[in-house]
Structure 1
Amino acid sequence: MKKYIVLICTTLLVMSCSKKETKIEETEQVATDTSILKLTDAQLKNFVLDTSTFQNQNLPTTIRLNAKTEVTPQNTVSITNPFGGYVKKIALIPGNYVKKGQVIVVLEDPQYIQTQEEYLTTKALLEQASADYVRQKDLNADKTASDKVMQQAKATQQTLLIKKRSLEEKLKLMNINPSSVSLSNIRRTINVYAPMSGMVSEVFANLGQYVSPAEAMLEIINPNTSLLNVKVFEKDLGSVQIGQYLKAYTNANPEQKLTAQISSISNQVNQDGTVDVFARITNPNGIRMTVNMYFNVELEVNSLQVNVLPEDAVVHYEGKDYVFELQSKNQFKLIPVTIGTSANKMVEIKTPSNSGKIYVTKGAYNLLNAMKNSGEEQ
């Protein structure tokens, strides 16, 4: 009798374990099916759905780059003087704006006095030589003076005339009007004028300093003609073309973006692996430009053909992106995807790459809500 009792207990224990294993398997099967949504025909009528396979399109890709402002050589002026001199007056600092024709430096030097003295002396001698030539010409006409004497007088006059005109040009280079030079008006200083309107970027001279003819006293730039020097890596260079437009903004104000157009591309690679690409600013959008001002750049380029779906096809759930695959008329499967760039209400689907399947492109979030509600009920 005891043997029968033991046998019965053993049988019941085995059956109990078998039922537990079956329940575990059923639970695991249910868990694996949580990505499946099945709808009845009646339920399906409550949804407005559109479906589509992957489309193959060229989507513009945004390349993010760095840039800084630079001024073209024709809009940068180094202020020098062809004669040199001692700085008598200079009252500018970097950042000051000047107008074309404004006095920016006053120089003093004895050579200015000597040049004016030489000019007045030459002018007086020329008057004398001209009068002598006229007299010798008249005497020669009467055969009173020889041709040689007349020609000598003429040569003296011509020599002095050449010297006078040469000194006039020299005075003009000194910014001295020759007609203003007289016995009672000899200056020991000269003015240096701004050749263009702009901003003082650098000052190299100070009061009392002697500046040589080749030495720059200050530098003036026109910041309104700034270029953007965009640093483009070699891998992105194939996507960059002359004529393309780009957007640029500062870290301080990322919402305020200027527009620029690529005007030239360097053919030399820098040590950091970048290539200089220059863009002319077409619309500063109210941004005040300064030299060496740093910008973040957004450049849209066309990518290769990629698989895309409408943006409404992608649902974001628990930190991940998904799409619904249509498996049958009433059955949908939630598929995780990796998305890429997006444009024109289309988004790149990097994975999965199977383009033959059909996906829900409208009503995906409604399906997601139905799936969540179904899971809560279970």
Structure 2
Amino acid sequence: MKNIIQIAAVFLLLMGCGNKNNKESASQEQGEETGIKVTQEQFDTNDLMISTMEKRTFPKMVETSGMIDVPPENRASVMAFMGGFVKQTSLLVGDKVKKGQLLVVLENQEFLKMQQEYMEVFNQLDYLKAEFERNETLFKEKIASQKNFLQAKSNYETAKARYRGLREQLQMLNISPSKVEQGNISSQAAIYAPISGSITKMNVAKGSYVSPATEILEIVDNDHVHLELTVFEKDILKVKKGQKIQFRIPEASEEAFNGEVYLVGTSIDDAKRSIKVHGHLEHEEEANFLPGMFVDAKIMTDTIKTLSLPEEAVIESEGTSYVLKLVNKQGAGYTFERIAVKQGNTYGGYTEIISTDLNKADQFLTKGVFDLIGG
């Protein structure tokens, strides 16, 4: 019995030693897995860099969205003063036009009727004026009755008002009253470009009928574009004129562009609980912005000084942000540990690091991180 107990004790002792060795081996393997080793040769060949975190000034941002737009005076919706059939047009969407350029020619028999009425009134004016002046003289000399004088005056004033009204209508149709007075009448009326720009909409074709309510085409002048942003109620009081704007065109480019708050709306949209913010662009002539482009923007409302690392030192993988912290440097080798961090804003090539487990003395790989842990 005593021998059995001794054998059992030896067996348990051996098992305990085996477990201890297994734990130490597992611990070493785990340390090797979490550590990323880089030789001095690799470090130099790949131009890797190590540095500590530094305090930098970061702006506090209000995130918003909106679109590229143009001022009202840079957008023209072309319509007809009177209806008619399209007799002539050769424009397509994208064509550039200059102010005063012929856009469309309309044809309508009503144009002829209006010019005929104008001719009739024009030809009557001299007679009615002479009749009015004659009756005025006779009335003053007490030869003609007041009734005849007032009738002559009414006829003349009515004809004069009708003449002026028809003349104005002809000018709105771009028909020259002077040519009509010379007997040159036409069933066609021309429509000219009110501004210079590009055709963005073309809603008619040759032969189609245009009513006064029909938008024939739209012209947009892209020489000056601006940002039209929507800021929600919770952020309204933070936004002020003169604040910097950083924005991107997500569907077109990853490049960031800059602007400035120029106007802040003074009334809230009841349905969306938001206001409009108008922003001017920096160097807009260097970018090919088009009205209607959607933008993601950040308005810089304040600043904060906090610890940061270069932007390329932080890599995002599967929704988590990581940095490589130097944990050991021995001889010709470096050992880095992958540390999960919470990052804040990125500005000026640096990223705000929000973490309670790191301090200013820690060193991090700031160049070549992506090559080691990917993204």
TM-score strictly above 0.5: yes
Residue 350 of structure 1: aligned partner: 354
Q: Distance in 1 between matches of 2:210 and 2:51?
A: 79
Quick check: 1:279 aligned with 2:282? Answer: no
- After superposition, give the CA deviation of every residue in 1:189-216 in whole Å (9 maximum; x if it has no partner): 1111111112211122222222222222
Q: Which residue of 2 aligns with 1:204?
A: 203
Letter in 1 for 2:96: Y
Alignment of 1:221 with 2:220, yes or no, is yes
Task: Note if contact 1:211-1:217 (Cα within 8 Å) is conserved in structure 2.
Answer: yes
How far is 1:98 from its partner?
1.4
1:33 to 1:86, Cα distance in 2 relative to 1, 3 A: closer
Distance in 2 (CA, whole Å) between partners of 1:252 and 1:50 is 35
Q: Is the 8 A contact 2:102 2:190 kept in 1?
A: yes
Deviation at 1:119, TM superposition (A): 1.4
Question: What letter corresponds to residue 350 of structure 1 in structure 2?
Answer: I
1:104 is displaced (CA, Å) by 0.8
Equivalent in the alignment of 1:118: 117
Cα pair 2:57 2:303 within 8 Å, conserved: yes
Instruction: Report the counterpart of residue 248 of structure 2 in structure 1.
Output: 248
For 1:375, the equivalent position in structure 2 comes to none
2:118 and 2:110 map into 1 onto residues whose CA distance is 12
User: Equivalent residue for 1:321?
Assistant: 323
Q: 1:124 to 1:206 in 2, by over 3 A?
A: same
Structure 1 stretch displaced more, 164-173 or 284-293? 284-293
Q: CA deviation at 1:152?
A: 2.9
Residues of 1 paired with 2:146 and 2:17: CA distance?
144
Q: Quick one: distance in 1 between partners of 2:204 and 2:168?
A: 26
On the 8 A contact 1:113/1:188 being kept in 2, the answer is yes
RMSD of aligned residue pairs (Cα, Å) = 4.8
Larger radius of gyration: 1
Indicate whether 1:340 and 2:343 are aligned.
Answer: yes
Aligned 1:114-193 pairs, distance under 5 A: 114-140=113-139, 143-182=142-181, 184-193=183-192
State the Cα distance separating 1:142 from its structure 2 match.
5.4
Equivalent residue number for residue 369 of structure 1? none
2:74 counterpart residue number: 75
Contact 2:66 2:294 in 1 (8 A): yes
Conserved 8 A contact 1:337-1:350: no
C-alpha distance in 2, partners of 1:269/1:58? 36
Q: Name the CA distance, whole Å, in 2 between partners of 1:29 and 1:282.
A: 56
Q: In 2, are the aligned partners of 1:259 and 1:284 still within 8 Å (CA)?
A: no
Change in CA separation of 1:285 and 1:339 when aligned onto 2, cut-off 3 Å:
farther
SS class of match (2:181): coil
Q: In the superposition, relative to structure 1, how do residues 361 and 238 fare at CA in structure 2: closer, same or farther (>3 Å)?
A: farther
The question of whether the paired residues in 1 share the 8 Å contact of 2:227 and 2:279 is answered with yes
Deviation at 1:21, TM superposition (A): 7.2
What TM-score, normalized by structure 2, do the two folds share?
0.66
1:258–1:287 contact (8 Å) kept in structure 2:
no
Aligned to 2:94, the other structure's residue is in SS state: coil
CA–CA distance in structure 1, aligned partners of residues 186 and 159 of structure 2: 23
* 1:149 aligned counterpart, secondary structure: helix
Partner-residue secondary structure (3-state), 2:99: coil
CA distance in 1, matches of 2:5, 2:140: 164
Q: Offset at 1:173?
A: 1.9
Query: What amino acid does structure 1 have at the position aligned with 2:361?
Result: V
